Chains A and B, each alone.
Chain A
């Protein structure tokens, strides 16, 4: 397979167009991208450049118009609706700019949601553990409107983590947050990365993108690789990220906490 064993995401000449004829919008043009296990990639670009379009495709929420997209070696474009739902449930954790929490459910009920669709048992326990990882053990029974924006986004991250997915996709996760909360969220993402998670972070803010060892720029639907920091630093980070990769399988099964208790206050 072209993607190689370790590629979680593999895109080849992926195009996405909206509409047709006069009003056609080419949101993605011949995008090639490979994300490996343990990578932390920031995708940066101005408004309207195609970031969300790319994120939807990476997250199996939408299908490319043309090209080739393999998720963990499997061809997404050949999948039926239910298979896509299955991948989203099992292997991807989403973090959205608008949090997308259900207003009427408490924090732990929100975190529980993905587990409901995979018929998991001991859901409360698992949800509690995920909330613990983002430092929200003391807010589990609060509804979203009883939580600050930063806390809400942490609940959303817990929800993304609860299924222990292979990929965490965050689309402008700090777009609606103040600087303190932004720092909290980024710290959590960095910690997840250190724990060996694969993370794709979408943002328009270069400063935020700088937390990621690897930055990819998108403009007008065209993707270009861009290095941040020195090559040595980058390699150093990669090496660090690569370590847990080998020890990954047994750890995942054990589902032990990945973040120190006070990650949120870091």
Chain B
């Protein structure tokens, strides 16, 4: 028999036993569906991370206290106070760091209680300097941003994110109004342009105040000089590496550290965040694909199981085919292809299920998912391959049946 004829025989057998074939294929169906959904989520996460980071501005360099070195993870990463206002001031010196366009020291706290008249709202509050706008690639929508003078004067002025403003001032009269942040009164002087929610973190829900005011009155336990991180903006995308180097050299120098491995700060660029997130999402994708793989394995065992039953049931058919001149290889191929066809049909349904779920997830949940045709094709091939692999044992059993024994089997 030719492969085509054998495949047709297989298809006919599958059609003739629709319910059982479907149940057999269920494991494969779920496996391939899961594969497509999980890879879809993985790819979606990756693309959304990519677009998020390009929106953030790729020129951003972030300096955080503490370090992750070959010596191990230092405790209190990000909470130790090795970065100071002086560091920020030094980085702002164009003659020392020519590739640095802007420097914004930052302190912040989450869950700050804000009260405006009858409205109470909980949000995060950030203390920084005018360069916060530049380094974050943000813009003011109305009003103005905090100035160097506000920082120097410990002014009680605040710039609100659009979400915060809308919640605190439903009437829209935010600018010029008073808001109590952690019981400290601030006057609203500006509202930021919206950036759009990004997963769990909403960059439009915050208040920005002068860093000096925040250090003195909002951040409990902090000092007036230490900062939680320093945002540095490189002159251009191409200047990121040299700017990073300048920041590193300067901070090592001011911190009097000779061995860079002992640095008490960590420099992160968008590129490095991107690659970290990329690696994380790759790991996640692989993990999820592994789960899908296990269900495919279970599905394959199901196929083997049913094929063994099928061989036992069709002993008379096998005997007859042998009596009519089928060789072992013909029978082997027939059952192999039948298993492959069942699995491929399951795979096809799985692609349908996975595709539909991918679109549904993308549309009806906050997850970003991507349907990838190559992955669907691979899923199909894997399904058929599993049918072939797990069909071997039943097919061999069928092929080895002696014709007389098989004929008597009826």
Please give the residue numbers on chain A whose beta carbons come within 8 Å of chain B beta carbons, in ascending order: 56, 59, 61-62, 81-82, 85-86, 88-90, 94, 96, 98, 100, 102, 104-105, 113-114, 116-119, 159, 163
Question: Bound complex: CA of A90 vs CA of B325, how far in Å?
Answer: 8
A197 to chain B, nearest CB (A): 18
Chain A CB within 8 A of B156 CB: no
Chain A CB within 8 A of B187 CB: no
A183 to chain B, nearest CB (A): 26
Say yes or no: A116-B410 contact (C-beta < 8 A), given A88-B324, A100-B320, A102-B317: no
Could you list 17 examples of A-B contacts with CB < 8 Å?
A: A61-B403, A61-B404, A81-B327, A88-B323, A88-B325, A96-B407, A98-B410, A100-B319, A100-B320, A102-B317, A104-B16, A105-B12, A113-B320, A113-B321, A114-B324, A117-B327, A119-B2
Question: Bound complex: CA of A85 vs CA of B317, how far in Å?
Answer: 15
Query: Are A117's CB and B330's CB within 8 A?
Result: yes
Query: Are B325's CB and A117's CB within 8 A?
Result: yes
Chain A CB within 8 A of B119 CB: no
A160 nearest CB neighbor, chain B only: B324
A113 nearest CB neighbor, chain B only: B324
Over the window 364-406 of chain B, the binary record of Cβ atoms lying under 8 Å from chain A Cβ atoms (1 yes, 0 no) is 0000000000000000000000000000000000000011100
Contacts of B13 in A (CB 8 A): 104
8 Å CB contact of B1 from A90, A100, A102, A117 = A117
Question: Bound complex: CA of A100 vs CA of B404, how far in Å?
Answer: 13
A88 nearest CB neighbor, chain B only: B325
A105 nearest CB neighbor, chain B only: B12
Contacts of A88 in B (CB 8 A): 322-325
The list of the 3 closest CB pairs from A to B, nearest first, reads: A89-B325, A117-B325, A85-B327
Contacts of B404 in A (CB 8 A): 56, 61-62
Contacts of A86 in B (CB 8 A): 325, 327
Question: Bound complex: CA of A119 vs CA of B325, how far in Å?
Answer: 11
Chain A CB within 8 A of B326 CB: yes
Query: Are B1's CB and A116's CB within 8 A?
Result: yes
Please give the residue numbers on chain B whose beta carbons come within 8 Å of chain A beta carbons, in ascending order: 1-2, 5, 12-13, 16, 316-317, 319-330, 402-404, 407, 410
Say yes or no: A100-B325 contact (C-beta < 8 A), given A61-B407, A119-B2: no
Contacts of B329 in A (CB 8 A): 82
Question: Bound complex: CA of A86 vs CA of B328, how far in Å?
Answer: 11
What would 13 more interface pairs be, CB under 8 Å, given A81-B328, A104-B12? A61-B322, A82-B327, A85-B322, A86-B325, A94-B323, A96-B407, A100-B320, A102-B317, A104-B16, A113-B320, A117-B321, A117-B325, A159-B324
B410 nearest CB neighbor, chain A only: A98
Question: Bound complex: CA of A59 vs CA of B403, how far in Å?
Answer: 11
B259 to chain A, nearest CB (A): 76
B298 to chain A, nearest CB (A): 29
Say yes or no: A59-B323 contact (C-beta < 8 A), given A98-B410, A116-B5: yes
B6 nearest CB neighbor, chain A only: A116
Contacts of A119 in B (CB 8 A): 1-2
Between A86, A96, A116, A119, the greatest number of chain B beta carbons within 10 A of the residue's beta carbon is seen for A116
Question: Bound complex: CA of A96 vs CA of B408, how far in Å?
Answer: 11
B395 to chain A, nearest CB (A): 16
Question: Bound complex: CA of A105 vs CA of B410, how far in Å?
Answer: 17
Question: Bound complex: CA of A56 vs CA of B319, how far in Å?
Answer: 12
8 Å CB contact of A85 from B16, B316, B325, B410 = B325
Query: Are B410's CB and A117's CB within 8 A?
Result: no
Query: Are B407's CB and A100's CB within 8 A?
Result: yes
Contacts of B5 in A (CB 8 A): 116
B399 nearest CB neighbor, chain A only: A81
Contacts of B317 in A (CB 8 A): 102
8 Å CB contact of B326 from A85, A94, A96 = A85
B114 to chain A, nearest CB (A): 75
B284 to chain A, nearest CB (A): 47
Question: Bound complex: CA of A159 vs CA of B320, how far in Å?
Answer: 12
B105 to chain A, nearest CB (A): 79
Contacts of B2 in A (CB 8 A): 119
Question: Bound complex: CA of A114 vs CA of B403, how far in Å?
Answer: 15
A101 nearest CB neighbor, chain B only: B320
Contacts of B410 in A (CB 8 A): 98, 100
Contacts of A118 in B (CB 8 A): 325
Contacts of A61 in B (CB 8 A): 322-323, 403-404, 407
B137 to chain A, nearest CB (A): 68
A89 to chain B, nearest CB (A): 2
Question: Bound complex: CA of A118 vs CA of B327, how far in Å?
Answer: 10
Contacts of A159 in B (CB 8 A): 324
B341 to chain A, nearest CB (A): 15
Question: Bound complex: CA of A258 vs CA of B381, how far in Å?
Answer: 49
Contacts of A81 in B (CB 8 A): 327-328
Contacts of A89 in B (CB 8 A): 324-326
B337 to chain A, nearest CB (A): 13
Between A81, A86, A94, the greatest number of chain B beta carbons within 10 A of the residue's beta carbon is seen for A81
B320 nearest CB neighbor, chain A only: A100
B407 to chain A, nearest CB (A): 7
A93 nearest CB neighbor, chain B only: B324
B18 to chain A, nearest CB (A): 12
Say yes or no: A102-B328 contact (C-beta < 8 A), given A61-B403, A116-B1, A117-B1: no
